[in-house]
Amino acid sequence: MKLTIHGVRYHVEVDGDGPALLLLHGFTGSAAVWEPFVNAWSRWFRVIRVDIIGHGRTDAPKDPSRYQMKLVAADLEALLEQLGVERAHVLGYSMGGRLALSFALMCPHRVDQLVLESSSPGLKTERERRERRERDEALANRIEREGVAAFVRFWEELPLFATQKRLPEPVRERARAIRLQQRSQGLAASLRGMGTGVQPSWWDHLHQFDRPVTLITGEEDHKYHRIAEEMTETFPRAQWVAVPAAGHTIHVEQPDLFSSIIMDVLSGSDVDPGLP
pLDDT value at residue 176 = 96
In angstroms, the first-to-last Cα distance of the chain is 38
Amino acid at 27: F
pLDDT value at residue 53 = 99
Residue 273 belongs to a domain:
no
200-226 per-position pLDDT tens digit: 999 999 999 999 999 999 999 999 999
Residue 275 belongs to a domain:
no
Residue 274 belongs to a domain:
no
Cα 68 from Cα 74, distance rounded (Å): 10
Domain tally for the chain? 1
Amino acid at 107: C
146-203 per-position pLDDT tens digit: 999 999 999 999 999 999 999 999 999 999 999 999 999 999 999 999 999 999 999 9
Q: Domain containing 20 — which CATH number?
A: 3.40.50.1820
Residue 62 belongs to a domain:
yes
Nearest to 262 by CA among 108, 110, 89, 95: 89
**In a structure prediction context, what are the per-residue pLDDT tens digits for the chain, which is 276 residues long?**
999 999 999 999 999 999 999 999 999 999 999 999 999 999 999 999 999 999 999 999 999 999 999 999 999 999 999 999 999 999 999 999 999 999 999 999 999 999 999 999 999 999 999 999 999 999 999 999 999 999 999 999 999 999 999 999 999 999 999 999 999 999 999 999 999 999 999 999 999 999 999 999 999 999 999 999 999 999 999 999 999 999 999 999 999 999 999 999 998 866 555 443
pTM of the model: 0.95
Q: Is 216 helix (H, G, I), strand (E, B) or coil?
A: strand
CA distances from 58 to 7, 206, 276 (A): 11, 30, 38
Residue 177 belongs to a domain:
yes
Residue 91 belongs to a domain:
yes
CA distances from 137 to 88, 175, 197 (A): 34, 24, 10
Could you tell me where the DSSP H helices lie in 85-221? 95-106, 126-146, 148-156, 169-180, 184-194
Amino acid at 45: F
Nearest to 107 by CA among 123, 129, 85, 122: 85
Domain range spanning residue 232? 2-267
Q: What is the DSSP letter of 269?
A: P
Residue 87 belongs to a domain:
yes
The total number of residues written for the chain in this structure: 276
Residue 122 belongs to a domain:
yes
pLDDT value at residue 272 = 58
